[in-house]
Structure 1
Amino acid sequence: MDSPTCSLSLLTLIILTIISTLSASFARTPCRTSCGKIPINYPFGIDDGCGSPYYRHLLVCSESGNLDLRTPSGRYPVRTINYGTDPHILIIDPFMWNCHDGDNFRSTRAFSLDASTHLSLSPQNEYLFFNCSGTDVIIEPKPVFCERFPERCDSSCDSSSYLCRHLPECGSVVGAMMSGSCCSYYPKATESLRLLLSHCASYTSVYWRNTGETQPYDQVPEYGVRVDFDVPVTTRCLQCQDMTKGGGTCGFDIHSQDFLCLCGKGNVTTYCDDQSGSEHRRVGVIAGTVSAASAAGVLGIGAGIWYLRKVRATAPVTCGVQSNENRLF
């Protein structure tokens, strides 16, 4: 086999590889719709440019399929996301105390949220604090204290709360034994949670999970933090998601953060089946994946042509035999 034939075969292989890569890139859905077993729907996204910009960079999906929520106080494993009429995220804080720790009240950091992200602590959370300083924290049975000091009722840490006597996974006996060092307090803001924790040995968060059963068994306490979120739906997003108009995915431009309807063949500012000639379609702007592949394809084909010209200009070599003159790297 002569040198031009060998070079042509090599160039063909390079071009076929590039075309295969480009085809795979264009065949991708604009946004990943799950991380592990957890669905990822609007307003969230794990690819930049997907979902609402209010929640940009908040969810992180690892290569092993583990989903984390990123907040100013750290990254927390996500247990579930509910997109229904009561939208919320349930997370786990591995640093918070739980019943298996017993009397080991290890220090932890206060959980916090970025108020600009439309996330909020759910009122269904209850926070239990342990071994608090009696000189810095008002530790009293809440009903009694509120009767005596109604104007200061919100500032007390309830030492007779139900959860202090019935800690999840502990049983009523263990809970009763620890009630003297436990009190329940719901902070009005993250700062008040952080301030109270600075005078206590540790704390934990318990949320009330709906079971679907009839009262009084319709809720059970579990360790974790429930975070509520808003779903900012606009007319443009509803049009984009409309299956009769192409069934796109709501997203945004990663530079301007303006709304984009993400479609399989490109992105538009209206909806996927819009035939308006004035619409500016851009192929593959999500996270730079497809557009980067397109640029790589153009460069790869150009490099292949350059290589063919270079080989033809040199002395002939035997195809498949490597020497210092014909090695690729």
Structure 2
Amino acid sequence: MEQTLFPSPHALLILTIFFFFLSPSIADQACQKSCGDIPLRYPFGSGTGCGDPRFHPHITCNDHQQLTFTTHTGCYPISYIDYANQVLYITDPTMSTCSCNQPSKGFGLDWDAPFTFHGDTIFALLDCSSASPVYSPNGMFNDRNNSSRVALCDNRGLPICGFLYGCKPIVSLNIPISGCCVYTPVNFGPSFEMDLEKLKCGSYSGFYSFNGRESDADSWKYGIAIKYKFAIDNVYPSWCSSCEQSGGVCGYSGPLDSFICNCPPGFNTTTNCFFGDSFNGASKFLPNQKSWIWLAVGLIFKDLKF
């Protein structure tokens, strides 16, 4: 007579508890250590629950593994992050360069986001109308209380206009160089917005380095350099450093966005990916998922009844 194997109530309880804990751990494997070719470190994360909540949803990793910077003016690919100097570099597909001149609506930062323009960023407004307010002595930029007015154009940037207007795409349009205005918006703070429609300009160009060839606009590094800051003292959080050193990814969870350390293969802790007390300076790693699986299987088979 053929015998039938069936688990006892005790084994079923073990199995239920096992899958109860296993399922969340798999679901929590959302925090990636990179997005495409760009490494991800605090304060940035690959999605909701990863990194610092103040930087989400400003910076996210989309389904195509493209790290993206989002403001109210659009979504912009991030090309590189300089973690040592806390600078991220973005590109605007609508921006004009020496190889392509195209219309654009402009660019702006969200006033409540933890970002400012890096001092190396230079914007050049192109094809501006003679009636553009950028040529007014009083300018048109106002602070949030409308208490001051400043000029927008930097006369020291005239050589830059000359180099840009020497590029073939712009030369072919036969537009006057007088329609160019160069300025560095870093002085205007994070609330600055470049609305080309209000400025009566057709397009803009942005770059953050002459790349050692100031007179060759085709060699400049086009894009926008943006500074970020994650604390008043700007000191790297020790709790996040401990998490990353143990192989985890810093994240947050719960209604208060409390800190969590997302550990491989998906366990969340409130400290790091080490567990238990430290004996003689040695720490133990959190058991991996395979260890839990073999432990559960062993207990179930041990308890099987024939």
Query: Given the two structures, how large is their TM-score scaled by the length of structure 2?
Result: 0.63
Q: Distance in 1 between matches of 2:250 and 2:196?
A: 41
Q: Distance in 2 between matches of 1:199 and 1:28?
A: 47
Alignment of 1:259-270 (within 5 A): 259-264=259-264, 266-270=267-271
Q: Which residue of 1 aligns with 2:163?
A: 166
CA displacement at 1:75 relative to structure 2: 0.8
Alignment of 1:19-98 (within 5 A): 26=26, 31-84=31-84, 86-98=85-97
Partner amino acid, structure 2, of 1:161: L
Q: Which residue of 2 aligns with 1:115?
A: 111
CA contact (8 A) 2:105 2:195 kept: no
Higher strand share: 2
5+ long unaligned stretches in structure 1: 6-14, 142-150, 277-282, 284-289, 291-329
Q: Distance in 1 between matches of 2:28 and 2:259?
A: 21
- 1:263-293 deviations in whole A, cap 9, x for unaligned? 23622222332427xxxxxx9xxxxxx9xxx
CA contact (8 A) 2:116 2:226 kept: yes
Aligned CA distance change for structure 1 residues 210 and 163 (closer, same or farther; 3 Å): closer
Aligned length: 244
Alignment of 1:90-239 (within 5 A): 90-102=89-101, 106=103, 108-139=104-135, 154-158=151-155, 161-167=158-164, 170=167, 174=171, 178-187=176-185, 188-189=188-189, 193-194=193-194, 197-209=197-209, 221-232=220-231, 233-239=236-242
Q: Distance in 2 between matches of 1:168 and 1:231?
A: 39
Partner amino acid, structure 1, of 2:163: H
What secondary structure sits across from 2:206 in the alignment?
Answer: strand
Q: Distance in 1 between matches of 2:149 and 2:60?
A: 41
CA contact (8 A) 1:38 1:81 kept: yes
Q: Distance in 1 between matches of 2:272 and 2:132?
A: 58
- 1:66-117 deviations in whole A, cap 9, x for unaligned? 2221111111122222212x22221111122333445xx52x2231222333
CA contact (8 A) 1:97 1:202 kept: no
Task: Compute the RMSD of aligned alpha carbons.
Answer: 4.3
Q: Which residue of 2 aligns with 1:305?
A: none
CA contact (8 A) 2:122 2:183 kept: yes
CA displacement at 1:169 relative to structure 2: 8.8
What secondary structure sits across from 1:166 in the alignment?
Answer: helix
CA contact (8 A) 1:137 1:156 kept: no
What secondary structure sits across from 1:116 in the alignment?
Answer: coil
Partner amino acid, structure 2, of 1:42: Y
Q: Distance in 2 between matches of 1:26 and 1:77?
A: 29
- 1:215-262 deviations in whole A, cap 9, x for unaligned? 999xx6322111111244223223333x4xx44322111532111122
Q: Which residue of 1 aligns with 2:298?
A: none
Q: Distance in 2 between matches of 1:177 and 1:119?
A: 34
Partner amino acid, structure 2, of 1:127: F
What secondary structure sits across from 1:161 in the alignment?
Answer: helix
Aligned CA distance change for structure 1 residues 156 and 207 (closer, same or farther; 3 Å): closer
What secondary structure sits across from 2:75 in the alignment?
Answer: strand
Query: Given the two structures, how large is their TM-score scaled by the length of structure 1?
Result: 0.59
- 1:154-176 deviations in whole A, cap 9, x for unaligned? 443538523211129927x9499
CA contact (8 A) 1:69 1:76 kept: yes
5+ long unaligned stretches in structure 2: 6-14, 138-147, 278-285, 290-306
Higher helix share: 1
> Rg bigger for which structure?
1
Q: Distance in 2 between matches of 1:120 and 1:54?
A: 14
Q: Distance in 2 between matches of 1:250 and 1:201?
A: 43
Q: Distance in 1 between matches of 2:36 and 2:58?
A: 17
Aligned CA distance change for structure 1 residues 247 and 38 (closer, same or farther; 3 Å): closer
Q: Distance in 1 between matches of 2:175 and 2:132?
A: 23
